[in-house]
A and B are shown apart, each in its own frame.
Chain A
Amino acid sequence: MASETRVLFRHVDEPGLASIETYRRLGGYRSLERTLKELEPDELLTTLEESGLRGRGGAGFSMGKKASFLPRGDMDKFLCCNADESEPGTFKDRELMQKNPHQLIEGIAIAAIAAGAGWAFIFIRGEYAEMGDVLDRAVEEAYGAGYLGEGILGSACRVEVVVHRGAGAYICGEETALLDSLEGKRGNPRLKPPFPAIQGLYGGPTLINNVETLSNVPHIVANGADWFKGFGTEQSPGTKVVSVSGCVERPGNYEVELGIPSRELIYELAGGPPGGREVKAWFPGGSSAPVLTAAELDLPYSFEAMADAGSMLGSGAIIVADESVSIPQLALRTARFYHHESCGKCTPCREGTNWTVKMLERVISGEATPMDLDIVASVQDNIIGNCLCVLGDSMAMPVGSMVKKFRDEFEAAIEAGKASAPRPLDESAADTRPVALGVS
């Protein structure tokens, strides 16, 4: 029987963990104290890089390496904690922030010191008002205890932390759009390079990390890089909080060692699909990840295994669709989300997401022909790699994978749609459209 390996989620339901007293009683803030007393910023960076900690927000890039890209020297540098968790199926940062906000704040303080950043911003999505309130209280407590602000614990270090609430835009999870939004603009992505590490917030060098990534930092500082590498696989060290949702008996966040069989996560921890049904398709890393099938359930859940299978670990969110779910409808729901969230800056994404939604509606209503499926696929090919950010790609990859892996089902949907399509002059025509979908 699979079980969790709780590091970030240790004591997660301890009453009062969100308060500084309880967090400190359980050993909290010792890593920050150690950082200030014993470690030079360079040593910190080396430890983080040696730990092999990979970003938990989606891209999976080495956190230590990213921090080391920031130029040295005396200038205004910034740290942004990306708490805009908006990837469909992902809710791990929500629980981490709500239940253990000081773990994140300690990680932010240490990472800011390592990167030489005097300012840190927590960009939390506006929908997470409840967690924003928790963070506000925790930041105030941390200031009160001298862990933040000018001269932290009597040292020369200064880290100012601001909790910044967004206002509802998936695109702001993209790091350069996040920076624009934080500067008080519309959240449009920027052209890269220059990368944020060189020119980010207010034009200064900026380190951007996800909530879960930063929450790992105090543990790595306390126990060392080798301890961290003792969990997970060689290329995916550590534990991962995995959000499992959709057609499973017990949806929720489960913290596991990276590399455990995906089947254990879905069937043993989350209980598998209800009613004894079988898994039909699953997204391994949020709705932006190409879907995998039941035949791929035994793959290890790690960055490298998911990449080898043509998908990605992404934000670490598994969404399960069982046999009761129609894949063309699932594709339409997925495409509709990206269409809604496209910021409109780049044409392939703005138009491609729009046309994909329209074509999938035609497939479902029986107005399409099987040849149209090739056009759907070609639209996806024309989005990938042609925009400033990967929002368009994030629709193209899962939708493309669904059309490829479940083409029979799309063809059957076209036939079924034709059979039930209204006859000309049929006055009830409007009622036979798939209104339940609520598509425009």
Chain B
Amino acid sequence: MTAGERRRLVGSMRPEDAERVPELHEVDVPDDLRERIQSAMSKYPQLRSAAIPALWAVQRHYGWCTPEGMRQAAAVMGVTPAYLESIATFYDLFRTTPVGHRQVLVCHNISCWMRGADDLLRAFCEAAGADPHAADHGGATSEDGEIFVKGFECLGGCDVAPMASIDERYYGPLSPDDARAAVEQLRSGAEVLPDRALGKRQAAGGPEPEPDPRVAATEAGGSG
């Protein structure tokens, strides 16, 4: 949009044109979506706190935060759709455009970068058929529309660097070969990289060392 077009658009806007809070009967909210949002609203002292949980519910239901989904959530919450859109566009994990339904976030922050994150991101893109430049600048979906790949800021998995979050689970350390295998598994519906799952990793320092005498002497520490 040019500056002139933008000026004309803003000039044409009238307060009465702003979309108001949609009424529940005007939108057809799927039952499970409405239940999830209402359950989130009941958990907080003030219902607006449910904005992020409501958007999570929309994203889980539709695969991304669709304008219609946000309108439905707005009707349930009693806020304007624009309010929810302002939240959805602020946070990195909400998608406001359609994306592949399998999601790969590759950490490209310093600890992972020093251990080969750029090569890993490229390998994921090549295997999936996604544009590597776009993947590192907001995310890219594979040509077949299945897999969404995105270079992401520190995911907090630096102990398994270079790493990636695949469908909300952490995996690492990953080689370019692992990336190719993971994409294959995502496509075939197999379990993804079972031996690289962070959840199975033991403490880095190995088995419990002989406890320090001051710790051993405490019969009832919070955990020991």
Contact = CB atoms under 8 A, between A and B. Distances in A.
Given A6-B209, A27-B223, A319-B111, A86 B52 contact: no
A130 B43 CA distance: 21
B205 A246 contact: no
Interface string B17-49: 000000000000000000000000001111011
Interface string B141-165: 0000000000111111111110001
Given A11-B223, A219-B221, A231-B214, A436 B118 contact: yes
Contacts of B195: none
Contacts of B218: 219, 222-223, 227
A219 B152 CA distance: 36
Which of A88, A162, A436 has the most B CB atoms < 10 Å from its CB? A88
A119 B46 CA distance: 12
Contact size range, A:
35 or more
Contacts of A125: 156
A88 B151 CA distance: 15
Nearest to B118: A436
A243 B157 CA distance: 10
Contacts of A270: 204
B189 interface: no
Given A183-B49, A438-B108, A27 B156 contact: no
A258 B220 CA distance: 22
B218 to A, nearest CB: 5
A94 B52 contact: no
Contacts of A164: 49, 52-53
Contacts of A284: none
A174 interface: no
Nearest to A329: B113
A337 to B, nearest CB: 5
B54 to A, nearest CB: 9
Contacts of A98: 199
B50 interface: yes
Nearest to A220: B222
A186 B113 contact: no
Interface in A269-283: 269-270
Interface in A231-264: 231, 243-247, 250-255
A9 interface: yes
A166 interface: yes
B5 interface: no
Contacts of A9: 203, 205
A31 B159 contact: no
B208 A337 contact: no
Interface stretch (B8-16, B91-99, B178-186): B91-99
A218 interface: yes
Interface string A156-186: 0000001011111110000000000111111
Given A10-B221, A436-B118, A95 B170 contact: no
15 contacts: A8-B223, A13-B202, A27-B221, A88-B111, A95-B203, A102-B223, A127-B93, A128-B156, A130-B199, A186-B90, A218-B221, A222-B218, A227-B218, A330-B110, A337-B153
Interface of A: 3-13, 17, 23, 26-28, 30-31, 76, 85-91, 93-95, 98, 100, 102-103, 106-107, 119, 125-130, 162, 164-170, 181-187, 202, 215, 217-219, 221-223, 227, 230-231, 243-247, 250-255, 269-270, 287, 317, 319, 321, 325, 330, 333-334, 337, 340-341, 343, 436-438, 440
